[in-house]
Amino acid sequence: MYRINLLKQRLANQIAAGEVVERPASVIKELIENSMDAAATQVNIEVEQGGIKLIRVRDNGLGINKDDMKLALARHATSKISEVADLNAIDSLGFRGEALASISSVSRLCLQSKVNGSDEANGWQVQAEGQDMAIRLEPAAHSQGTTVEVRDLFFNTPARKKFLRKDRTEFARIDEVVKRLALSRFGIEVNLTHNQRSVHRMLSAESRSEKQRRVALLCGPAFVDNSVFVDLERAGLRLWGWVSLPTFSRSQADLQYFYVNGRIIRDKLVAHAIKQAYRDVLYHGRHPAYVLYLELDPAMVDVNVHPTKHEVRFREGRMVHDFLFSALHKALAKITPSDQLAASQTLPPDVGSLPPEPNNPNASLQQGSLKFRETTTPRQSGYSPGGTNGASSSQQLATNLAALSQLHDPDAEVPPLGYAIAQLHGIYLLAQNREGLVIVDMHAAHERITYERMKQAAVTEEIKMQPLLVPISIAVSQVEADCAEQQAQALMQLGIAVERVADESIVVRQVPSLLKDSNVEQLIRDVLSDLLEFGSSERIQARQDEILSTMACHGSVRANRQLALPEMNALLRDMEATERSGQCNHGRPTFVFRSLDELDKLFMRGQ
């Protein structure tokens, strides 16, 4: 017969360590989080041999009382919560009280500390020994704050050690963890060394430009140059941070940092809301880049969902989703050529002259901070995809000369995209503004303008409904049928008439005429699943936009059509007034800008 025996303390802790201590990087994460919870303003991290040989994290935080030192290494011992109610509003990074116990069960760990304001000359240190993890407490020379030293990780758990990679790979993961944490608390000075070589020295950042410098250091200057700063607040929710311009997209979702009350998280709801916000402006299959901070009442979010705390559960998920989506959607829509140009003027000249990256043709152009400028509704356009507008060539010449002369008059107001000067190979429009040369892809620009106009028309005019000759009946789950029933009114506003006909069956009787040739059943199924998971769905809108986008593309100025100068100028003015006009319907840029400085450099003038 099997007998039951109580596990030795160390073994029990090693089992718990399986969940949170996967590799050196996870140790670093736990230790830095502890320093942050202890209100440290400086954290020094020393790593040797990818963290396998040594990890030492020292902070200047509150420190640990001599009498608590032993408990700090015990499992289920924490200073951060004391009763179940505390779990409902956690404002610290840790709360499970098992990190130090777990780490010390699989390594040689020494904890040294001295509390803030203690009048003792020395601090104290503890270590856990043997299978029972008996704690040895001794005096130690330590100034205010805490040091945790972790040597020989996994020396006693060979199965774990086998899964470790080369030092370099383990260090790369550590670097990523440090980066995430450094982005979460700008006020903390962070130093990182590997094998005695300094890797990062980050001073604490207070102002926005200092913060921006840290973001540039950690995420690359190109990200900052090609992103806008957002800061929005609504109903107790605040969202701030940097989001990439649609034209600065990435092939992988690797530059995406999202923090909830200072804790980095990966969350389906958040990812969905952001993806939706970029839907209409991103090149197909590309991913946006962002460093974003959501701040809300800790009671509104449950972090006790997963041992590594990378997942959270929002108590008002739909409200959060809606807030994120609308905030970012609005921010992206408001990026107009004048914002982009205004931003490009703040560039130091040498940054502007970098050659454009392949997936980022106007790297030097679109950057800086976002101004929430109200875009005006586009006027009736002065150009048409088909014919010319009939102005005689001498008339054109006169208007054009008058326009260009504005450029030399310092008091005259020159529009951001300037005045057209020529057309190049029937594809590009060349224009000059005060600062330099603007090159516009005519088709891309016209396409976006037409598309935005069609979308507006679709909203303002009633969506035309098309009763289906043969109503489509769809077998769904009871939950989905409930959802369809509850949302029938909302769906009706989008032009879709659904009706529940049985416990697990719905019937679609009407759809917007734009969608009559779509796969309606699939669309409704996807919409219901979105509604159940996120509380909202953009799919109907997305499908219609796709169709409008194709129509806009076919109706737009094709290559090789000669435009008269007034037509070109009208196109420029419309671009300035149209939302999202910095990129075409497919997410490609519609214009690039080269300043005179950059052009001078090309010709080595003044060197």
Give 41's Cβ-side CA count (13 Å radius): 6
- What are the phi and psi torsion angles at 139 (to 5°)? -65, 150
Q: Which stretch binds Mg ion (CB under 5 A): 16-24, 30-38, 144-152, 273-281?
A: 30-38
Secondary structure of 394-419 as H, E, C letters: HHHHHHHHHHHHHHHCCCCCCCCCCE
- Minimal distance, residue 145 CB to ligand ADP, in Å: 7
Please identify which residue in 9, 34, 113, 569 interacts with Mg ion, judged by CB under 5 A. 34
Measured between alpha carbons, how far is 607 from 605 in angstroms, rounded to an integer? Answer: 6
Give 366's Cβ-side CA count (13 Å radius): 30
- Minimal distance, residue 40 CB to ligand ADP, in Å: 7
Q: Which stretch binds Mg ion (CB under 5 A): 95-103, 446-454, 476-484, 507-515?
A: 95-103
Angle of CA points 242, 243, 244, to nearest 5°:
125
Give the residue with the Cβ less far from ligand ADP, 99 or 265: 99
Measured between alpha carbons, how far is 465 from 455 in angstroms, rounded to an integer? Answer: 16
Binders of ligand ADP: how many residues, by CB under 6 A? Answer: 22
The answer to whether residue 21 forms part of the interface with ligand ADP (CB under 6 A) is no
Closest among 21, 35, 146 to 92, alpha carbons compared? 35
Q: Within positions 475 to 514, which residues make up the interface with ligand ADP, using CB under 6 A?
A: none
The answer to whether residue 58 forms part of the interface with ligand ADP (CB under 6 A) is no
Measured between alpha carbons, how far is 394 from 374 in angstroms, rounded to an integer? Answer: 37
Please identify which residue in 50, 94, 436, 495 interacts with Mg ion, judged by CB under 5 A. 94
Q: Within positions 67 to 106, which residues make up the interface with ligand ADP, using CB under 6 A?
A: 72, 78-80, 94-101
In the chain, the amino acid numbered 555 is G
Query: Is residue 481 within 8 Å of 503, Cβ to Cβ?
Result: yes
String marking each residue 98-137 x if it binds Mg ion according to CB under 5 A: -x--------------------------------------
Q: Within positions 126 to 155, which residues make up the interface with ligand ADP, using CB under 6 A?
A: 146
The answer to whether residue 61 forms part of the interface with ligand ADP (CB under 6 A) is yes
Q: Which stretch binds ligand ADP (CB under 6 A): 60-68, 298-306, 396-404, 565-573?
A: 60-68
Give the C-alpha distances (Å, rounded to integers) separating 179 from 190, 265, 274, 285, 533.
10, 14, 22, 26, 31
The answer to whether residue 303 forms part of the interface with Mg ion (CB under 5 A) is no
Burial of 143 from C-beta contacts in 10 A (0-12 / 13-18 / 19+) = exposed
Other CB atoms closer than 10 Å to residue 2's CB: what's the count? 4
3-state DSSP call for residue 113? strand
The site partner of 80 among Mg ion, ligand ADP, none (C-beta below 5 to 8 Å per kind) is ligand ADP
Nearest residue relative to Mg ion (C-beta) = 94
Q: Which stretch binds ligand ADP (CB under 6 A): 32-40, 150-158, 232-240, 359-367?
A: 32-40
Burial of 90 from C-beta contacts in 10 A (0-12 / 13-18 / 19+) = buried
The answer to whether residue 282 forms part of the interface with ligand ADP (CB under 6 A) is no
Give the residue with the Cβ less far from Mg ion, 307 or 382: 307
- Minimal distance, residue 410 CB to ligand ADP, in Å: 60
Closest among 556, 526, 368 to 453, alpha carbons compared? 556
Q: Which stretch binds ligand ADP (CB under 6 A): 58-66, 307-315, 398-406, 496-504?
A: 58-66
The answer to whether residue 35 forms part of the interface with ligand ADP (CB under 6 A) is yes
Residue 355 is encoded by which pair of tokens?
A: 């050659």
- Minimal distance, residue 125 CB to ligand ADP, in Å: 13
- Minimal distance, residue 153 CB to Mg ion, in Å: 17
Q: For residue 332, is it left (φ>0), alpha (ψ between -120 and 50) or beta?
A: alpha
Per DSSP bridges, beta strands 42-48 and 134-140 are unpaired
The answer to whether residue 46 forms part of the interface with ligand ADP (CB under 6 A) is no
Measured between alpha carbons, how far is 225 from 121 in angstroms, rounded to an integer? Answer: 50
Q: Which stretch binds Mg ion (CB under 5 A): 89-97, 299-307, 394-402, 413-421?
A: 89-97
Give the residue with the Cβ less far from ligand ADP, 64 or 282: 64
Give the residue with the Cβ less far from ligand ADP, 51 or 246: 51
- Which residues contribute to the site for ligand ADP (CB under 6 A)? 30, 34-35, 38, 59, 61-64, 72, 78-80, 94-101, 146
Can you give the binding site for Mg ion, defined by CB under 5 A?
A: 34, 94, 99
